[in-house]
A and B are shown apart, each in its own frame.
Chain A
Amino acid sequence: MKLFMLGIDGLPRWMWQQFAASGVMPHSAKLLQTGTLMPMKSSLPEVSSAAWASIVTGENSGGHNVFGFTDLMDGSYTLGFTSSRTFRAKPFWAREGAGPSLIMNVPQTYPAQPLDGMLVSGFVALDLKRAVYPSEQLSWLQSINYAVDADMSLIEKGKQRFVDELRRVMTARCQALHHHWDRQSWQNIMFVFTGTDRLNHYLWEDFEDSSSPFHQTFLDYYHEVDRQIGYVLDRLDDQTTLCAVSDHGFASQRLSVNVNCLLAEAGLLRLRASDRPSYIDMLPETKAFAMDPGRIYLHRQGRYPSGLVNADESEALLQELTALFLTAKVNGQPVAAEVLRGKDVYSGPFAHRAPDLIVMPAKDVALSGRMNLSALIEPTAINGKHTYEESSFFVRGRNLGEIPEEMKVENVLDVIMPAHQQQLRKAA
């Protein structure tokens, strides 16, 4: 069987069903009748880099080594950005016998790594030249003004300008998909719509408020996404497994809380004075710090150059932190819904690099891990946030694996290529 994996970044399962039923996404309405749609759980935390890495490798973050968009370089306070080189598990297209693959706009695949086939990297790609493999395909992509990312700064010029930009970028990406699809017989194709995530971040309030002048703009964008889905469906035969997934769900965001401010207020994070505060400014008496969006790390001795938290005090500290987050309120609003232990969440050869705690935000709250402690409540134009629950998983095809009752992003490959996954497990 061939595989077509369609990604729709940030599309909640319930919204997909709602839009299919209401006529906003008529092609999806037909599609959803031909297979199984399930709610899926995202990565922990529910961040696109980690979730897409799980979807394409079949591992949780402890197995593929991507815990967020940022990480500290081992044994240092240097902030690093995760990328295709951070992956320590093979994506399905890089496995032995995968066959020729066309991989387009998958987040976390920049810079482009060699493969049997063609790849154009997704977010956070900076430079198209380094986002394309093989490089011979670059000039054609340049000729159609293919953009590695939408210009998100356009939101400052108005929501309509912003959505127009998302449409422009999507149109070129879809043109590129079909152009390269025609070039040869691919065993695997993966294509991700990412404009949906950007739209949800900035226009969620307009979706929720049907009287907003941009409510219809929001629906129209999804209608356009659905039209593109229709073009894909028209080309698929019944010898192809079709899997359509989103990496996380979405919900409203009314408050963005800087977790590092909470830690500083509790006396658990201390920074030396700096114009541009960063992790390197942490004083040795710091007990814990946060990285995006709610990853909490103890400032452990041995792990960090000036960390002083030793193994004997870590349990008491984790309990103190858990209580702190679960009781914290900002503007009368609870900050956390749940606090999880990293050791209970992650497995695999990189599990020791995991955060000690993961703070799951309360309703309407988003968490950040900025080191600039000037504002506990951060001003932002963003009004939609990711959710752990309710990402979308749709599949149709033959020889599928069993769909777990509690479907998670790391289970996608188990369902769509069960034989391959079993072989890998056996080899391990």
Chain B
Amino acid sequence: MATECVTTANSITEVLLAGDAVLNLTQQPLNTIAGTMFVSADQNGASLVNRPCGFRWSLKAAQEIGTLISDSALRIVVVSEEECCDAERLVRELVAQRIPHLHCTLMNLCDADDYMDEQDAEAVSERLRQLGYL
């Protein structure tokens, strides 16, 4: 099973499976559906919660993630931005503990089109229509 993927905060559900617990290292709210489990961290360590929350890195919390794996949390989905040191440390810890995981890097895929204005989009549409694509 893949352990890395790239997605957006808006489309995170595309990669989530039943039994996933989301560990959100970003400041962004994720577009998850109701009932999605999240990994929370506080001074007492790591825990599972049924509401969206962020995860603040601490070695203690990272080392406790293995205890969260159960019938209801089968895989940890680490969500981070690009080049996030905390994500790298965390994934190393998950690998060391052999915890099933997926690391999702968030990218803004919508910038693919930010060079186009409406006129450009119409021109591209016309070209694609001429070749039978649209």
Contacts and interface: CB of A to CB of B under 8 A. Distances in A.
B2 A70 contact: no
A351 B32 CA distance: 19
B6 A74 contact: no
A70 B116 CA distance: 14
A76 B10 contact: yes
Nearest to B17: A311
A275 to B, nearest CB: 16
B33 A124 contact: no
Contacts of B13: 300-303
B73 to A, nearest CB: 17
A74 B127 contact: no
B124 interface: yes
Given A82-B112, A351-B2, A75 B10 contact: yes
Contacts of A124: 124, 127-128
Contact of B14 (A69, A127, A152, A353): A353
B4 interface: yes
A366 to B, nearest CB: 6
A256 B124 contact: no
B84 interface: no
B123 interface: yes
Contacts of B130: 152-153, 155
Chain A binding surface SS class? loop
B11 to A, nearest CB: 4
B110 A80 contact: yes
B120 interface: yes
Contacts of A68: 133
Contacts of A111: 115
A293 interface: yes
A302 B10 CA distance: 9
A83 B112 contact: yes
A141 interface: no
B97 interface: no
Contacts of A368: 132-134
Interface string B15-29: 111100000000000
Contact of B121 (A81, A311, A352): A81
B118 interface: no
B10 A352 contact: no
B120 A126 contact: yes
A349 B127 contact: no
A49 to B, nearest CB: 9
Contact of A302 (B33, B127, B128): B33
B10 A83 contact: no
A30 interface: no
Interface in B78-134: 105, 107, 109-116, 120-121, 123-124, 127-128, 130-134
Contact of A73 (B7, B14, B31, B109): B109
B5 interface: yes
B131 A382 contact: yes
Interface in A254-300: 256, 292-293, 300
A130 B114 CA distance: 13
Contacts of A180: none
B63 interface: no
Nearest to A48: B131
A186 interface: no
B14 A80 contact: no
Nearest to B6: A349
A28 B127 CA distance: 31
B112 A69 contact: no
Contacts of B110: 73-74, 80
A380 interface: yes
B113 to A, nearest CB: 5
Contacts of A303: 11, 13-14
Given A80-B113, A85-B111, A301 B33 contact: yes
Nearest to B18: A311
Interface in A120-173: 123-124, 126-127, 130, 149, 152-153, 155
5 contacts: A65-B109, A75-B10, A80-B110, A85-B114, A370-B134
Interface of A: 47, 65, 68-70, 73-76, 80-83, 85-86, 88, 111, 123-124, 126-127, 130, 149, 152-153, 155, 198, 201, 256, 292-293, 300-303, 311, 347, 349-353, 366, 368, 370, 380, 382
